C-alpha cells in the first residue's frame, strides 16, 4: 500500500469533510476558515468562500442534481455548491439545529442529521426542508447514509445507538452492545451498514434487520471517526487518535496504515474517482492511499 500526502491549506483552515463529486474531482470542507474546495486528481485546487466565514462546514456529499451539498454546523444551514463554484444555502427551520451528516436519499432528496435538536432533516433540490423528530432526547445524531433497504441509517453518538428512518419518516432505534461507544461515521457496503465507535475503539456492523457485530481495533484509543465502503465487506476508516487509515474485511480482519505526517488528524474519507482512498487531514492536507 502506498500512502502519500498533499498540502491543500494552512493548518488554520481545517480540512474536515471530503467526497468524490460527479465531476471526477474531490470536494472538501474547510471547517475553520468557512470554505469549500474542489481538488482535481492532479492537484489543482479551487477554493470557494461562503458568506459566513464562521459557519463551520462539516460533511459534504454529492446530490442527485449534480451539485455538492454540505452541512454548516455553526450557522445551522445546508449549503449547496455547483461544479463551477456557485454557492447557496438554506436555513434549517429548527433553531440551533447543528446539522452535521448529509447523504443523498433514494427519493431524489438529501437527508441530514441535526446534532443539537434530535431530528433528521430532508431537503429537496429546491431547498424545501422537512424534519422528523427522533424518539430520544440528547441523542446527538451524527453521520447518515443510504442503506441497502431503501432507508436512511444514522449514528446516535450520545444515545449509543444506530437509527433507521424510512423516506416516509418511520424511525427505529437499535442500541449498541458496548456501553458508551459513541458511534460517529457510518457507511453501506451494499449488504449491511458499517459504523465506527470513536469512544470504544471498535468497528461495528449492523444488518438491515438489526443484528449487530462489533470488532475491536488493535489500539482501543485510536478514535475511529469516518468510514467508507469500497465494496461489499471492504471498508476503510480514519483513526484520528492513531494517525492512521484502517481497513476492515467482511470477516472483521483489520489492517492499519500510518500516515506520513505526525498528528495529522484524519477525519473524512472517501473513495476517489481514481479508485484510491482519500482522507481529509485537519492539519491542512489530504492523504491518498492506493490499494
What are the binding residues? 225, 265, 282
- The span from the CA of 86 to the CA of 288, in Å, is 27
Exactly one of 35, 76, 247, 267 is catalytic; name it: 267
Distance (Å) of CA 32 to CA 11, 52, 238: 9, 11, 20
Let me know if 267 is a catalytic residue. Answer: yes
Question: Annotated binding site for substrate, which residues?
Answer: 225
- Candidates 243, 230, 223, 247; CA nearest to 285 is 243
Report the binding-site residues for Mg(2+).
265, 282
- Which uninterrupted H or E stretch holds 274? none
C-alpha to C-alpha distance for 268 and 263, rounded to whole angstroms: 15
Given a contact cutoff of 8 angstroms between Cβ atoms, the answer to whether 112 and 71 are in contact is: yes
Instruction: Please name the residue that has the C-alpha cell 446527538.
Output: 140
> Which has the closest alpha carbon to 267: 56, 76, 90?
56
Q: Whole-angstrom Cα distance, residue 252 to residue 201?
A: 14
Residues β-bridged to residue 234: 231, 249
- Say if residue 218 is exposed, middle or buried (CB neighbours under 10 Å; 0-12, 13-18, 19+): exposed
Q: Which of 228, 6, 99 is nearest to 236 (CA)?
A: 228
Task: Quote the CA–CA distance of 91 and 234 in Å, as a whole number.
Answer: 36
Rounded CA gap, 226 and 284, in Å?
Answer: 17
Termini Cα distance of the chain: 5
Q: How far apart are CA 202 and CA 220, in angstroms?
A: 7
Q: Which residues are catalytic?
A: 267
Amino acid at each position: 500500500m502506498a500512502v502519500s500526502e498533499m498540502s491543500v491549506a494552512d493548518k488554520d483552515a481545517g480540512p474536515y469533510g471530503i467526497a468524490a463529486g460527479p465531476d471526477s474531482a474531490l470536494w472538501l470542507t474547510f471547517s475553520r476558515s468557512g470554505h469549500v474546495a474542489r481538488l482535481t486528481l492532479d492537484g489543482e485546487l479551487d477554493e470557494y468562500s461562503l458568506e459566513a466565514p464562521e459557519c463551520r462546514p462539516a460533511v459534504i456529499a454529492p446530490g442527485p442534481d449534480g451539485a455538492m451539498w454540505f452541512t454548516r454546523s455553526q450557522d445551522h444551514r445546508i449549503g449547496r455548491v455547483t461544479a463551477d463554484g456557485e454557492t447557496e444555502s438554506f436555513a434549517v427551520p429548527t433553531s440551533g439545529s447543528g446539522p452535521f451528516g448529509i447523504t443523498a436519499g433514494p427519493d431524489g432528496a438529501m437527508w441530514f442529521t441535526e446534532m443539537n435538536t434530535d431530528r433528521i432533516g430532508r431537503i429537496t433540490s429546491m431547498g424545501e426542508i422537512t424534519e422528523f423528530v427522533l424518539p430520544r432526547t440528547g441523542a446527538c445524531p451524527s453521520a447518515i447514509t443510504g442503506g441497502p433497504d431503501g432507508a436512511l441509517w444514522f449514528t446516535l453518538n450520545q444515545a449509543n445507538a444506530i437509527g433507521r428512518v424510512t423516506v416516509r419518516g418511520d424511525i427505529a432505534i437499535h442500541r449498541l452492545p458496548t456501553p458508551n461507544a459513541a458511534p460517529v461515521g457510518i457507511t453501506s457496503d451494499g449488504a449491511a451498514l458499517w459504523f465506527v465507535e470513536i469512544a470504544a475503539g471498535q468497528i461495528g456492523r449492523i444488518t438491515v434487520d438489526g443484528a449487530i457485530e462489533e470488532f475491536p481495533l488493535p489500539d482501543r484509543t485510536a478514535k475511529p471517526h469516518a468510514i467508507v465502503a469500497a465494496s461489499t465487506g471492504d471498508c476503510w476508516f480514519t483513526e484520528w487518535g492513531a494517525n492512521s487509515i484502517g481497513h476492515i474485511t467482511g470477516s472483521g480482519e483489520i489492517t492499519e496504515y500510518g500516515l506520513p505526517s505526525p498528528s495529522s488528524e484524519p477525519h473524512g474519507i472517501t473513495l476517489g474517482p481514481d479508485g484510491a482512498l482519500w482522507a481529509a487531514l485537519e492539519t491542512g492536507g489530504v492523504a491518498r492511499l492506493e490499494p
